Structure 1
Amino acid sequence: MADSPFPQDLVDAQLRLHQARAEYAALCRALPWSVEPADGWPGTKHPHTGETTGGREPSPGYTDEQKAEVGRLMALVRELTVTVSTHPHWATLDAGERMGARMALKGHRAAEAAPVADAAA
């Protein structure tokens, strides 16, 4: 990308990191609230309004496939985080410029990393 102050491999890694985080977030929204099967609990009835708040339905826990996918995405996010944060480009900048440059990279082409459609929707 000619108009970018960042090396293309760094931009690509940051974009993939945005995508991996979005995939992980979408997966987490679709998963049961507990990794292991767990009983739910009743909510609390408000004494003045009668509205019941809080509480949880029982959780079936994650399937083995869901556990594997969570692990895969977490490992990918960690790997990409290390790739981006240890890229040789950062050594070419003065120490005082690095934080601003890292923040600029996070926003660079971030819109292209649109979240994956929520599986629960």
Structure 2
Amino acid sequence: MTESSLMTDSELSDALRALANPTRLQLLSWLREPERNFSLEGAIADPVEVGVCVTHIQARVGLAQSTVSAYLGELQRAGLVRATRVGKWTHYKRDERRIAQLVATLGHTL
């Protein structure tokens, strides 16, 4: 990665803040292998291509849907996941390019 493709200090701070919560960190980890980590019975979209529905994520983590949505929103604002609407449901998928950028930035700056 070139230096121009590294995260800004503000972007890095946002990403690290999002990952500072153990549950958000766990969600991001689980989303790495959605078919392995979530019961996807009744899924209406491909979890690898589109992402995992909040309903399936909420069932796995065992927290209120509003809490799970807030956690995923924080990861999305940090650029670590992308949200896609499928009908009335929101699906979340890791943004692998952005995660690689985070890792590269940490390797370059620390």
TM (normalized to structure 2)?
Answer: 0.32
TM-score, length-scaled by structure 1: 0.30
Higher strand share: 2
Structure possessing the higher radius of gyration over alpha carbons: 1
Quick one: higher RCO (CA 8 Å, sep 6+), 1 or 2? 1
